[in-house]
Structure 1
């Protein structure tokens, strides 16, 4: 999926991302307003995984 599509409907996708990575708070994701790089950083920080791994998982998702 194109990230621009995700960004256009960000509140819905933030909820799904929070379900996929339960360590990440939905409120934190909503504050990012769909900024992909910030989402990767947030997932990495919340889960303790490497940023590259978080980016790869997000890309696969």
Structure 2
């Protein structure tokens, strides 16, 4: 994943951040509000390490999976549907005929 996924869905990452860095405080995360530089400085301060070390630690953490709150977000679904339009033949609507796919509605 990329940092913009974290920044755009900052609150959904709180649990993952606090799992990785248990000493992190929710109030501090509220203040950081997805700013990457502030987050790097915060993690560096928590672990008494350099910014470069914190950046590397965050880079390793960011290779993990997206939290379910982010994956289940309706805007994520809409983006996926829009991207799937390229696989739908001309003249068909990507939102039509869900019954063929087991939806039945």
* Larger proportion of helix: 1
Query: Which has the greater radius of gyration?
Result: 2
Secondary structure, in 3 states, of the residue corresponding to 2:45?
A: helix
Give 5+ residue unaligned stretches, structure 2.
62-105
CA RMSD of aligned residues (A): 1.2
Number of aligned residue pairs: give it: 61
Give 5+ residue unaligned stretches, structure 1.
none
- Shifted more, 41-50 versus 12-21: the winner is 12-21
Q: CA deviation at 1:15?
A: 2.6
Which consecutive aligned stretches of 4+ in structure 1 deviate over 2 angstroms post-superposition? none
TM-score for the superposition, normalised by structure 1:
0.86
TM-score for the superposition, normalised by structure 2:
0.53
